Structure 1
């Protein structure tokens, strides 16, 4: 079969933040006296150059996501240097989506006006809640009022496309507080809302000292009520935890979920590149500790995705999407034949966990709540 490489994205990881939150399992590190911005941007650009050369990448970048940590702590000058350096190493598509993650506590109107002028065309704002009591429990460094102000500043700075991150299932949260969080977010008219459940991840303070969380039934009812509010107000659910106005889905994350390719640069960043199908799809990872990464940004680990792992790797991404996947898409992205996943697929169809609509296989309404169980059918 002819090999056509999938769309290519770029993820940039900036690992520093003001304070490490007790639920956060990302590669983030609290910084007290300022991050080494200049040295780190230089390392990022060296890292990108190494990947481009090592894998002979000549496809244009369709999306860029600058995540963390708290990337908005970096100055506009550092972000400008980063974007200019990226353009020297690899082509960026004219209509590229370029996202910057930000926390409300770092919002300054002049700074974000500059980010907008630099070509950042999407923000992802880590609100989590608008209630000060819950924000304190989560270890956040901003207030509810600062979160509201952040969205207002995003509008004023010219960002027609921004996301608000919200969490539910929070310690000691009442259903009314969670519903009010969604109502407040809707009133701020973001183009996109991410709404996801707090989970106690390993290697976090919350995992070591678990807080009291709402019971499963309460959490489920909160989720359903909030989902109804979002849909009633024009936010379409296109992924398990993502809701967007028409045409405002996060293109970067969709590329992940559609098993597209991405370069990952920065401390602890991961990448996935299809060099040929199906025998040469690799994952890359960079050193997690910022000091080790800064010492040698050319260092990376590479791992082939085995033929046995490919169906699961594909499905654990694609089945997060409401639209699901087609059999031709499975073959195009993996190089495998539909028969390679047929036993698991048939089992899920028989149990009404997966349905086929317009030649696309997707989670049924029943299956939507049991994705982990569905994926068990495709292990090996």
Structure 2
């Protein structure tokens, strides 16, 4: 029962952190008009948020190990909520981006603690299943959050999106005050935090699995960075139409997460992860072909992307569980380091994608193919790592 409660709280926290990525996307043109600023500068808010999530993640992990999960999660929620409530008062794009960076700081702590709570409650294939629930939360935030953001913008203006995030943070803090978390699991090492992180990062079974998850995540970040201008510019979609796209995206991610939750113990983590990365590569390749040979059809952009999302939702929780299981030191450090790696990669990929922002889809599709190809190489490395570990354990 405690594991179920902890999982529900972890999913709620993860939702709040991830909805900061997607909920404002339909409002990018409106925010650009209000500040005022060019749309490509406002589009940097996604990369800035991801940088904010990534930078303090290792610190959040160390604090969680030292002071406990609950106080650190409450602190991260407070920072996130304060920044969210302040964003609507931004009077130029520089202040807007600065506040998004601070909001990302809080989101990074929330994300790390959510994963650590799941890690504290599960292990092995059950950990992959538990992380798949976080994956379902991610897609709700990614897709339905995008839809809800478009509805809120149309009804109350873009500022209400960020006020809503602040209210959500406050409500979750009130709930957490009444909950007792699982017993703190201390890392089995007396090394200082930076040495622990360095030891984990150099371990191939952790590194390859973490890189795989980050490359697949980058496909989603690249699309979210470029898609608003492509679909609302080249294809002349309204903010409401763009918001509706959240539903098929949500359905694709939910389907993949459910498949992991149901079949991973039976199929095996490596097999299911391979299937997922293959779908990411397939969807990205079809996006590229569609952008070259049928650039006037929006369906050849968003539908293959949904296929890629399906694959990513299958591979991501498994890669995260493999990275955690492959870490040579236990505790919250492996989860913090994998989160840092993913968010840093996402920020870099988001920055590259923002340089490619155009009304044409081919640069975006080419970037997605490159990322998916890199993930496929990491699959081979993960299989080699697992084979090596099995040989060592059999000696």
TM-score class, shorter: under 0.3
- The structure richer in strand per residue is 1
TM-score (normalizing by structure 1): 0.25
